[in-house]
A and B are shown apart, each in its own frame.
Chain A
Amino acid sequence: MSGLRVLRPGPLALVQDLGRPGFAAVGVGRSGALDRGALRLGNRLLGNPESDAGIEVLLGGFEARFEQDTWFAVTGATGRLLLDGRSMDAHTAVHAGAGQVLRIGTATSGVRWYLTVRGGVAVAPVLGSRSRDTLAGLGPAPLQAGDLIPLGEHPGTDLPLLDFVPVAEPAMDAVEVRAHRGPRADWFTEAALEAFFTDEWRAGAESDRIGVRLDPPQSPSHAAHATRSPAVASALIERAVNRELPSEPMVAGAVQVSPDGRPTVLLADHPVTGGYPVIAVVSDTTLDLFAQLRPGQPVTFRHA
């Protein structure tokens, strides 16, 4: 037997590569790994092309058995990693013998782990990509206990001679991202725009691969849930233009402001069009940070 057998998927384990660009005009977004840097690193550690597919594990509690000898790496979130019950390092190529069991513990910083395997995860691609798009329902289904995941031919290159690469762990405290003024920045009052770029927001609990909702400044999410009312919420980001916006194309990183004044940062599985005005667009170089935010974690936007 060969491949990787899923024993426990944890809350959500998805196959992801760098996505399927080019289909937005027919209603399919790019999708792909949320923390692209972590997936790329995992592939580089194994001598794979950076675009090979890996497994994006949300939070942890993931367990799988290698049914063949192979090299693999775990990147992204941090926490406890066990191979056959023995502690192992992240961010490095590790050899697994057939029958060995990898256990990814609960993330202590960040929320998304990436498991990459030499040769890449080789499930059938859909429209040129192995990414699961959770909004469109395209690509390989979320992994379930018992799934046997085929692995690709290894690329023939030598494993890179790296024992250890210095990697910054996902931040546990305030995160600063860069953002450009959005196409509809002028739909908001100057004061609202300035507040957006200076206030400290918090990652909301309602966050997934489609987007991260942001809770208002100075209002931890547990309190906001208890006290949110339309009157309070409408004061969040004030609009200068109140007419309705015909639906327009969206991109990953676009910060949409819903009628209650709350911003949502769209991520890889976002709808291809949307009807809320975009106040800002997160710079691509800092977009990956949203993949690892934990609910309640502070976020500030700085002009790119």
Chain B
Amino acid sequence: MTRRILPLGDHALLVELDDLDAVLGLFRGLDATRPEGVVDLVPAARTIAVLVEPRILPLSSARSWVERTVPLDVDATHERLVELEVAYDGEDLAEAARLTGRTPAELVAFHTDSTWRVAFGGFSPGFAYLATDRPLDVPRRDTPRTAVPPGSVGLAGAFSGVYPRSSPGGWQLIGRTHAVLWDETADPPALLRPGTVVRFREAL
């Protein structure tokens, strides 16, 4: 396993890893041992940014912390489990099923039977890219929607996700949930954060 530490200005480092699993493992390790002076830990598909306040934690100290941090397995941490109830009546359910060679019922079963993990955020406040061990590969819509309603549950590439609020989007929409994904007055404001485990349950 390789772990490259790249420069990202005078307040941050960028750690590059082999794949998403390595990102999740190291993110858990870093999050569990976060020293004072770390302002933010931001995971992405292959990288983790470590943002620091250098007067408290100089970049050289941040670098050695990253170098000696041991990745943690999922089992090693007690991650939050969030269950989301979904009405699988999305406009793209039939198309997404066709694109993946399944019936709509089989696609729903795939979605509810998989254990999902928040890999990273980034698209909009509270949006989480959810990864699973045996992902499908779902092409995005040819024409993105200009406004996807909040609570829409979608698939794109290897990921699933829920739109926290109305925004443009190109994901295939398979259902919707009433769960509140983002509440700026709550602490924490996001229901789903990197590391959170997510299960979907079909609303009856």
Contacts and interface: CB of A to CB of B under 8 A. Distances in A.
Contacts of B10: 180, 281, 283-285, 304
Contacts of B120: 25, 273
A23 interface: yes
B40 A127 contact: no
A184 B7 CA distance: 9
Contact of B39 (A22, A138, A271): A22
Contacts of A156: none
A272 B42 contact: yes
Interface in B1-55: 6-12, 14, 16, 39-49, 51
Interface stretch (B68-76, B84-92, B189-197): B189-197
Interface stretch (B100-108, B121-129, B130-138, B148-156): B121-129
B14 A249 contact: yes
A253 B188 contact: no
A198 interface: no
B8 A138 contact: no
A136 B7 contact: no
A21 interface: yes
Interface string A236-260: 0000000000111101011000000
Interface residues of A, number: 34
B9 A251 contact: yes
B142 interface: no
Contact of A27 (B11, B14, B46, B123): B123
Contact of A25 (B9, B45, B121, B123): B121
A182 interface: yes
Contacts of B7: 180-183, 281
A254 B189 contact: no
Contact of B40 (A25, A136, A180, A182): A25
A24 B51 contact: yes
23 contacts: A21-B51, A24-B40, A24-B42, A25-B41, A25-B121, A25-B194, A26-B125, A182-B8, A183-B6, A184-B6, A248-B46, A248-B47, A248-B49, A249-B48, A249-B49, A251-B11, A251-B12, A253-B9, A271-B122, A272-B121, A273-B120, A278-B8, A304-B10
Interface of A: 21-28, 126-127, 136, 138, 180-184, 246-249, 251, 253-254, 271-273, 278, 281-285, 304
By Cβ-Cβ distance, the 5 closest A-B pairs, closest first, are A281-B9, A249-B49, A273-B122, A183-B6, A26-B190
